[in-house]
Amino acid sequence: MATIEDLENRIAALEDRLAILQLVASYGPAVDSLDRDGVGALWAEDGRYDFGGDPLQGRDAVASLIDLETHRNYVGQGSSHILSLPRIEIDGDRAVVVNYSQVFVRDPSSPRAGWHADRCSANRWELVRTAEGWRATARTNRLLDGSQPARDLLRRD
């Protein structure tokens, strides 16, 4: 028969998965509402976000992405950063998470045209368990434009 300790371990494993779903679900609302602290809270102090070009290094640098001209333009036009249901692999205090992110932007040329997907990317997140919960140590984002690097992010280890 299962012991209390067995059950507790299984519960902790479930809590890990739901905490990671919550982390992924928090990114879009944070960037689209220009919530600097909300973005920063998802990364570890020395975490990194590489979406092509020079990576943003450190929580403060990552959080400052809300001030990028490209980002302000997105938000001004009307943007939705939508992150897909993630595939999650947990190994002790580390986790690797793979999903898609899309940036939908209001089409400025015609209100009737709705929103178009300006970016469709593969994402690979490396997470660590900290005293405050799961945090990103690295997130890599590459446009799914037919090139190999984006596809490689989606692979299983």
Residues that bind a second copy (CB under 8 A): 1-5, 7-8, 10-11, 14-15, 17-18, 21-22, 24-26, 28-30, 32-35, 38, 75-80, 82-88, 98-100, 102, 104, 106, 113-120, 122, 143-147, 150-152, 154-156
In whole angstroms, what is the distance from residue 126 CA to residue 29 CA? 20
Q: What's the closest the beta carbon of residue 153 comes to a second copy, in angstroms?
A: 8
Q: What's the closest the beta carbon of residue 105 comes to a second copy, in angstroms?
A: 8
Q: What's the closest the beta carbon of residue 39 comes to a second copy, in angstroms?
A: 11
Is 5 or 54 the residue whose CB approaches a second copy more closely?
5
Is 57 or 118 the residue whose CB approaches a second copy more closely?
118
Is 65 or 143 the residue whose CB approaches a second copy more closely?
143
Is 130 or 147 the residue whose CB approaches a second copy more closely?
147
Q: Determine the Cα angle at 135 with ends 130 and 141, to 5°.
A: 155
**How close are the terminal C-alpha atoms of the chain, in Å?**
34
> Of 11, 10, 20, which is closest to residue 130 (Cα–Cα)?
20
Give the residue ranges of DSSP H helices in 33-68. Answer: 36-40, 59-63
Which residues face 105 on adjacent strands? Answer: 79, 116
Residues 6+ apart with CB under 8 A from 100: 83, 84, 120, 121, 122, 123, 144
Is 57 or 126 the residue whose CB approaches a second copy more closely?
126
Q: What's the closest the beta carbon of residue 58 comes to a second copy, in angstroms?
A: 22
